[in-house]
Amino acid sequence: MTPAFSICVYCGSRPGVDPLFADAARQVGTWIGRHEGQLVYGGGRNGLMGIVADATLAAGGCVIGVIPKALVEKEWAHTGCTELHIVDTMHERKRIMAEHADAFLSLPGGIGTLEEFFEVWTWRQLGYHAKPVGLLNLNGYYDHLLAFLRTSVQNGFMSDWQMELIHVGVEPEALLKQLVQVAGMAPEGQRLDQI
């Protein structure tokens, strides 16, 4: 069966200290699965990565995991994925993930999550893709990052239109609906509350 849409999710290989992060990852995966979608992610079974993958599978969705050989043992590759791609490099991992996605969503995470988020946002502003980029700002996790980015605009290193390329939300379901609609994956004329 062809998925209704495909969301690439970037998130931590750790669960974080706030249980809200794990709950949100579970909500994201469950929503993707219940709406016959596909999760594309980094292929690990630890932390938020494992939670979002397990929730997607449990709700009936497809999961494509992409993980470099060097991280198979470190991140404990999730062998339950619908498809698990083991690749040679991080560059190959990110390319495959981007190619399989209709939209991108960053949950809380560390340096890897931030690097992936900034890369797809950069690609978006350069016109390398036209896919929506979302940032789930749970419990103010990304407040300081967003403030810093606004400082960059105020100091003339970025423009407002670049900031407008990021879809920021605090509620998983609402942000997922927005990303799917902006990606053009919702049926013609369908309202967000109908997705």
For helices 111-126 and 90-99, the axis angle rounded to 10 degrees is 60
The whole-model pTM stands at 0.94
85, with CB counted inside 10 A (0-12, 13-18, 19+), is middle
Cβ atoms of residues 25 and 108 within 8 Å: no
Q: What is the pLDDT of residues 27-85, one digit of tens each?
A: 999 999 999 999 999 999 999 999 999 999 999 999 999 999 988 877 689 999 999 99
Overall size of the chain counted in residues: 195
Q: Please, are residues 105 and 142 in contact by the beta-carbon 8 Å criterion?
A: no
